[in-house]
Amino acid sequence: MSPVAVSQCTPPVPKKLSFMDSTFAPSPENDISKYRNLAPVVTREDVHYLNSSFQQVMNLRVRAAIDEYLDQAVGTPHPKPVWQSVAQQAKSSLASYLNVPDDSLVFTRDTTEGLNLFQRSIPFQPGANVVLLDTEHPNHAYGWLGLVEQGLEVRRIDTKGESYADANTFAPLVDDKTIAIGLSSIMFHNGQLNNVQDICARFRPRGVHVLVDLTQHVGVCPIDLTKWNVSAAALGCHKGLGCPSGLGALYINPGVLSSLKKTPPIVGAGAIGNLPSTLLADPNVQYHASPQRYSHLNLSLIGAVALNASLTLLREEIGLEKIERYLRALGRELALGLAPLGVKIV
């Protein structure tokens, strides 16, 4: 059966569930089912893969890029410069996807590292606070909780089962001692898409940083961090981008950098703007004047090669807008098919 086959039943649609509106119905314009053969596991008759939130299925384009990497690793005497060049292409492609300048983006090990780099770069006095949803991903929440011993208060909003978050959600707990709001653009546990732009528009002018976890968002929807005006965003490449684990990225708004601590939480040669050509450390340390001060020279090159192949497929061949429309159509058809069975959508 086609994954976007039109449901044969037309049960009443609750008005509050806007995602079930007919505007999200399947159509030839949003059908990307022809690409399913790039993920062999989902073409099997005995498999219905519903666990992409935990681990995305790798596609054959990424597999081919990794195979080429391995062939170069065992058969080429000096392949590293080639991999580094591809890694730079991948970073430029990712920056273009997120609509941010190239030098505002650095590769990290994963989302946790990216979040922590920013969390530990914000100067604050004891008594300052940050505001989170009580359902925020633990990797994000524990990054802030790790600063409690330095006098930071972590305020958690009791969502009472509500999943959607906008500026009004955070307003009751934000005050003049709030230094940051932390949230996921798409929640890990229920797939809720939060209104990051609304939150930034309300609180960024008040000097409150907004740190966003994009891990469940990248690869499935268009993203515009410049339009949203976030302070910083972190992501992992192993979910919607379908890459091996071990590669993430951190974006820091160039306008925010001057308000952060001058010394990054982790310092290696990649952070140094005046690194001597001799590679002998100069005590006159000068960090990069851009977010590149958070970069490491030793990154997962195999992950970057995979990322480049993934972005080429998703951005250039299929298109993120089309992917989002396809996913919304799938969600609508699933909800319509469940309604006659008495299964309600929360």
Average pLDDT value for residue range 233-247: 95
- pLDDT for residue 11 is more than 80: no
Report the C-alpha gap between 186 and 214 in whole angstroms. 7
Report the C-alpha gap between 250 and 110 in whole angstroms. 9
Neighbours of 208 (CB within 10 A): 21
Report the C-alpha gap between 342 and 345 in whole angstroms. 10
Question: Which helix (H) or strand (E) element contains residue 153?
Answer: strand 153-157
Q: Which two tokens stand for residue 65?
A: 């890029």
Tens of pLDDT along 151-161?
Answer: 999 999 998 87
Q: Does domain 63-310 have CATH number 3.30.499.10?
A: no
Closest residue by Cα to residue 67 from 310, 302, 242: 302
What pTM does this model have?
A: 0.91
Interhelix angle for 301-311 vs 80-98, to 10°? Answer: 50
> How confident is the model at residue 8, as a pLDDT?
36
> Are the C-beta atoms of 116 and 141 separated by less than 8 Å?
no
> How confident is the model at residue 17, as a pLDDT?
64
- pLDDT for residue 250 is more than 50: yes
Tens of pLDDT along 17-49?
Answer: 677 778 888 888 889 989 999 999 988 999 888
Report the C-alpha gap between 140 and 87 in whole angstroms. 26
Tens of pLDDT along 253-274?
Answer: 999 999 999 999 999 999 999 9
Query: Which residues contact residue 113 at a Cβ distance below 8 angstroms, ignoring those fewer than 6 apart?
Result: 234, 248, 250
Neighbours of 104 (CB within 10 A): 22
> Are the C-beta atoms of 90 and 307 separated by less than 8 Å?
yes
- pLDDT for residue 54 is more than 90: no
Where do the structural domains in the chain lie, given as residue ranges? 63-310
Q: DSSP assignment, residue 314?
A: I
